[in-house]
DNA sequence: CTCGGTGCAAATGCTTTGCAATGTC
DNA sequence: GACATTGCAAAGCATTTGCACCGAG
């Protein structure tokens, strides 16, 4: 809930990695935090633009990568040809049901999935950093028709 | 194990969808069935080419989509910017551990994951068609170093 | 003052498309 | 014969990059 905490975390991450603190990076961060739900790089770029904040696409992409690395945003790749992002702040880890008919994306949380994933990692001596599960199919709405 | 069964299935799928039975489509299918492990569209194209089978890239992409639709291949999208495929024939459903350091992809099978996925779908009245779980992190080999 | 970051436009690389020729049904 | 499919090359599209300028440290 505390946006300043996220900013502080990002600042720390930048300093640790010897990245510079630039206004553009924080403009992108602000926009990300305002965005509810999924968005792609271009949507974010356009939103910044419409708020009269001049940041180039290149910087948006660059900053989104940084934000992903430090865990502020999650990057997803569903069926189509571009990446979608989402702030992870204030949200528990969740996965996605993707409707192949209407394109809707439904989020769900399931503790058991996490548990099983941890098991698998242990078995394989694999150190997990992030995970994503997508189930493709037909959603409840479309099934009614 | 029976490759002819897959071919028959593909033929049936094509007929049902009013797609034509062309030699090119079956050349692509053959190449797919020969390929062990993951491959991308271009690798498949090059393999066909090196076997003196003339099929254009466009046809490879088109056919891979058809093969995915009828469940002969699975299409994955890992971190990078292109799609990877894999025949599903003769292989139980499995998921992937992706090493962020060496890029290795480790497959694993876990029945519990399937079960939990089925649960989630039931809860959401969602009719699943396919699912993919990727866990990103550091593999055993890289951890030793 | 140094060197990383930025903006712009141009490049990249996977994938799709337009169109004429081909071959299935 | 009709029309889906093919091949080719060219277009599309998200993303990255090269380079000159700018500004954080």
B11 pLDDT more than 90: yes
Q: How far apart are CA B43 and CA B47, in angstroms?
A: 6
The answer, yes or no, to whether residue B1 has pLDDT greater than 80, is no
The third-level CATH classification (topology) of the domain covering A3-87 is Arc Repressor Mutant, subunit A (1.10.10)
Give pairs for B15-21: CB < 8 Å, separation 24+.
B19/B66
How many helices (H) does chain A have, and how many strands (E)? 6, 6
Mean pLDDT of chain B: 92
**pLDDT, position A94:** 92
Residue B130, pLDDT score: 87
Same fold yes or no, A3-87 and A95-144:
no
Quickly list DSSP for B44-58: HHHHHHHTT----HH
Mean pLDDT of A84-95: 87
Residue with tokens 């394109």: A103
CB pairs A-B closer than 8 Å? 112
Which helix (H) or strand (E) segment holds residue B130: the answer is strand B127-138
Least confident of B15-24, B85-94, B112-121: B85-94
Asked whether the predicted pLDDT for residue B77 surpasses 70, the reply is yes
Please state whether strand C lies within 7 Å of residue B16 at its CB atom: no
Q: Positive or negative, the Cα torsion across B133, B136, B137, B140? A: positive
Give, in Å, how far the C1' of D12 lies from the CA of A111. 41
**DSSP state at residue B89:** T
Using the predicted structure, report yes or no on whether residue B133 has a pLDDT greater than 90. Answer: yes
**What residue ranges do the domains of chain B occupy?**
3-87, 95-144
How confident is the model over B28-72, as pLDDT tens digits?
Answer: 999 999 998 899 999 999 999 999 999 999 999 999 999 999 999
Name the residue facing A106 among B113, B124, B132 (closest C-beta).
Answer: B124
Has residue A79 got a pLDDT over 80? no
Q: Which of A129, A135, A145 to mutate to probe the B interface, most B CBs <10 Å?
A: A135
**Residue A76 confidence (pLDDT) above 80:** yes
User: Model confidence over A1-39: pLDDT tens digits?
Assistant: 588 889 999 999 999 999 999 999 999 999 999 998 899
- Strands B127-138 and B95-99, bridge-based pairing: parallel
Phi/psi of residue B143, nearest 5 degrees: -70, -30
Per-residue pLDDT at A53 exceeds 90: yes
- pTM of the predicted protein model: 0.84
Q: What local confidence, expressed as pLDDT, does residue A116 receive?
A: 94
Strand C and B79 CB separated by under 7 Å: no
Rg over CA atoms, chain A: 17
Residue B110: HSE in the Cβ half-sphere, 13 Å Cα cutoff: 24
Residue nearest to nucleotide D12 (CA to C1'): A81
CATH architecture label of A95-144: 2-Layer Sandwich (3.30)
Question: What's the mean pLDDT in B116-138?
Answer: 93
Length B67 CA → C9 C1' (Å): 39
Spell out which residues of chain B touch residue A136, defining contact as CB-CB under 8 Å. Answer: 128-131
């Amino acid at each position: 809930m505390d946006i300043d905490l996220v900013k502080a975390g990002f600042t720390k991450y930048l300093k640790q990695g010897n990245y510079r603190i630039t206004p553009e990076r924080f403009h992108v961060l602000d926009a990300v935090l305002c965005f509810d739900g999924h968005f792609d790089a271009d949507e974010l770029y356009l939103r910044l633009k419409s708020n009269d904040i001049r940041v180039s696409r290149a910087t948006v992409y660059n900053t989104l990568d940084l934000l992903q690395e430090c865990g502020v945003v999650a990057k997803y790749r569903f069926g189509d040809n571009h990446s979608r992002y989402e702030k992870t702040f204030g949200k528990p880890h969740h996965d996605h049901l993707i409707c192949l008919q209407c394109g809707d994306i439904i989020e769900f949380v399931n503790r058991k999935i996490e548990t099983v994933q941890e098991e698998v990692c242990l078995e394989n001596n694999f150190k997990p950093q992030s995970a994503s599960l997508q189930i493709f199919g037909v959603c409840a709405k479309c099934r009614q028709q």
